[in-house]
Structure 1
């Protein structure tokens, strides 16, 4: 499909359902894509952090992406994560993604070694030139161990290397400064990079980011409640900030499911992904709540609590 410039709206980072043996559960993944598209989302981000891309073999990555592209069937654009440690490895993933029909790519800076901004710029330019697909930078310092400099993002936006940014830095001040540098809330489309898209990954402050001029959100919780994030985006788009805040507060309460599992029992990634997948299982969207090794599974008690949070948010479980 023709890729929208800029991309706007809700673009969930699609979970990758797995069977008990760790293989991609393609039937469940197909149902999940249907759940998301029926919920009104504006795009799909396959093989991101929430998609457990770092835990999947290259063959499983390809299976997951192929399934998402086929299930989307051109109804919404599919962004493919090509996250890896070095430029050559990401180039391999990029070529596979292009061959499988992805509409755009999402890449971090390299993170095998410390890199200079000039090296990061060369990395993104090579990825963009190699496939010709629109390229989004993924700013996630918790993985890369450094934040993408705002001036570098702006440079790559202005010269057309980057089609957009997925900001998961948690640095709302830096995001606001970038938006101001690009023209601010009221002049983004006449600024130095009018087609550049800014998507926040901070799913608890989406209303604030949209008010500041962001174009949309990439919410992990959007797997569970895509329609809620779509309502939030629509309220913001029409300037109904009271309704947007009310929806954001409901989603923030639901998001608390990521903290159900005690820190003494498992990592925060395992707790969050386990909660999202448990919720999808309880809602009847996927067949198993399994997460990839070495992540630990939620306890039965934690899964039951996820169910109670769903009910409180108006999403009654079917299991």
Structure 2
């Protein structure tokens, strides 16, 4: 089944789950996807910052694509983030995403050097021009140290019609400005671990892409908001907010403690791949407190797609 944009709702971006020998754990990755689908996520994604994509070999990235495509089985829109330091490397991964039957791809800026906006516009344009898939641009300057202005994004969209979505990582006020300037024609999916979730929806976000540690609460908040129950949305958001703030101190914190919170709630043992932020005894205690308060994941009947 092909899913056209806009890809509205709450999407899960998967963690990279390793075994005790730092190898990708096939069983744990399958279980993670199964949990997300059972909760009723509106989309699946992998190979973003939460997936520790920079630590994965090209072979492992292709393997993750194949695994997640197999486990998702067409039940929800599927996206893969495209990571690479050159146009050639990114196009190669776009081809792999096409073979894995992705519904769309998310382009990350190359993590080499520091260049002006024009260079990034040309880079993204060449990669987007190599595929007919819908393309999102990941604009996360706070986390990645590079990004595009609203005007730069407008230029890219005008030149490449298959750039259909922006994957943001910014405050709700900034996201609102982007939506206003683009006159609502460009769907925006924010992230930031769900911080400002309800305000993002008020700003006009089509949805959010989140790691799965508190995604069940995000789904409740989204469902309430869409139903016109903003009080209910705020209530669900308040339940997840302490954990979201604890986790989202940095990308390293997300990978260290967010992944462990997911593991504690899912009953999956978590192992790191070096180099990694290592949890402290106090941090583990906080994970346990948040996991006890949030409770285990409870499957729901999936909505029709």
TM-based fold match above 0.5: yes
Q: How does 1:63-74 map to 2 (within 5 A)?
A: 63-74=63-74
**Segments ≥4 residues shifted beyond 4 Å:** none
C-alpha distance in 2, partners of 1:254/1:315? 14
Counterpart in the other structure of 1:93? 93
* Aligned pairs, number: 296
- Does residue 233 of structure 1 match 2:234? no
C-alpha distance in 1, partners of 2:230/2:293? 23
Change beyond 3 A, Cα 1:160–1:316:
closer
Unaligned ranges ≥5, structure 2: 299-305
TM-score, length-scaled by structure 1 = 0.85
C-alpha distance in 1, partners of 2:182/2:267? 40
Of the three residues 194, 200, 204, the one matched with 2:190 is 200
Counterpart in the other structure of 2:8? 8
Asked whether the equivalents of residues 10 and 218 of structure 1 are also in contact (C-alpha less than 8 Å), the reply is: yes
Counterpart in the other structure of 1:278? 260
- Does residue 180 of structure 1 match 2:180? yes
Q: How does 1:250-261 map to 2 (within 5 A)?
A: 250-258=239-247
Report the secondary structure of 2:45's partner residue.
Answer: strand
C-alpha distance in 2, partners of 1:143/1:57? 22
Counterpart in the other structure of 1:103? 103
| 1:152 to partner: Cα distance | 1.9
| 1:131 to partner: Cα distance | 2.3
Could you report, residue by residue, the CA deviation over 1:32-53 in whole angstroms, capped at 9, with x for unpaired residues? 1010011111111200000110
Asked whether the equivalents of residues 204 and 252 of structure 1 are also in contact (C-alpha less than 8 Å), the reply is: yes
Aligned Cα RMSD in Å? Answer: 2.2
Asked whether the equivalents of residues 200 and 217 of structure 1 are also in contact (C-alpha less than 8 Å), the reply is: yes
Counterpart in the other structure of 1:290? 271
Asked whether the equivalents of residues 150 and 178 of structure 2 are also in contact (C-alpha less than 8 Å), the reply is: yes
- Does residue 162 of structure 1 match 2:143? no
C-alpha distance in 2, partners of 1:117/1:147? 8
Unaligned ranges ≥5, structure 1: 260-266
Asked whether the equivalents of residues 166 and 199 of structure 1 are also in contact (C-alpha less than 8 Å), the reply is: yes
